[in-house]
Amino acid sequence: MESKEIKFNSVESNLYVLGDGVYFGMDDSSLLTASRHVDRVIKNHIGTLKVTEADLGVMETRMNKTEEKNYTAPLEKYLDVIERRILKTGNLAGIRTPSSKLFGLSYLIAAQTIENSDDMRRWLLSQRDLTDPEKAFDEYEKDHLVYRFDRERTLEEIRKLNQELDPKIPDNYAEFVVVPGYVPSIEDRLDGKQDLIGKLLGSVRFTQLKAKDKTKIEEAKSELVERLKKTTKGPCLSLDAPAIFDQMMRLYKDAPVLIENYGDVLKQPAWQTRLFRLDP
């Protein structure tokens, strides 16, 4: 199996471009400036970044996060809330759910330009299947020895779904996420200690949807990189950052199901002791 070459465009030690993604390391002091640059650039070229009302509520009141899939609150408003919280308390805690807390996962910002990403996912799948329906049906049936499609009826249903979703889908899509990370201090590196200093990783990723080409995406990436290059200070990024970031975000989303299916083991380090009981 051939290994896939991954090409990084390293702009600065804390800023690089990988495909249609821009990744940048930040100190806490750069969070608001960098985030507002992202908000303006995406608004100019792609669309308005929004967060969920649930996340806005958590940041405003520190109430427990509730599950919500619709992104309707402007990122600009969310950033104003973050600024007020920093001025009031001097620090900022990430957003967690009970399940993500078990894995030590949190994020500070999760914003996107489409209200419901499930609509986009279903539209992309329907676009793929409509491009070559017979191939799609063959692939499905290859993995199922018994079940067979009514291909004509299924194709009609796919077309209906695609037509229903199509008005909701923009030309391009962007998402912006900020997660906490850690680096050892220089002193700790020298003496082998494990004390860590909190830093932030920002990720902006673009997806071409209805647009005929990537002109708008390339313009947005170019402007964003120039703005971040001039204003954002932060730690040197690892080349592993994108892959680890992807795994972290998938784990955050999968955590509730993992806890539901494997909670007795995951939530109790001494779960082996529950295999037995004391003699009656």
Which domain covers residue 125, as residue numbers?
Answer: 118-167
User: DSSP 3-state assignment of 144?
Assistant: coil
pLDDT for 197 equals 65
pTM of the model: 0.86
Q: Are strands 109-112 and 9-12 parallel, antiparallel or unpaired?
A: unpaired
Same domain, 131 and 202: no
Same domain, 106 and 161: no
pLDDT for 86 equals 84
Order of strands, edge to edge, in the sheet holding 21-26?
A: 9-12, 15-18, 21-26, 196-208, 172-184, 109-112, 50-52, 71-74
Same domain, 146 and 218: no
Same domain, 106 and 150: no
Instruction: Please give the Cα distance from 175 to 155 (Å, whole number).
Output: 31
Q: In the chain, which residue ranges form alpha helices assigned H by DSSP? A: 31-45, 53-61, 75-89, 98-102, 117-131, 133-142, 151-165, 186-191, 215-231, 241-266
Structural domain count, the chain: 2
Partners of residue 179 on adjacent β-strands: 201
Task: Give domain status of residue 15, yes or no.
Answer: yes
Tens of each residue's pLDDT in the chain, 280 residues? 444 555 667 778 899 999 999 999 999 889 999 999 999 999 999 999 999 999 998 888 866 656 677 899 999 999 999 999 888 877 777 888 888 888 888 899 999 999 998 999 999 999 999 999 888 888 888 887 777 878 889 899 999 999 999 999 999 999 999 999 888 765 555 455 555 567 899 999 999 999 999 999 999 999 999 999 988 888 889 889 999 999 999 998 898 899 889 888 888 888 888 888 776 6
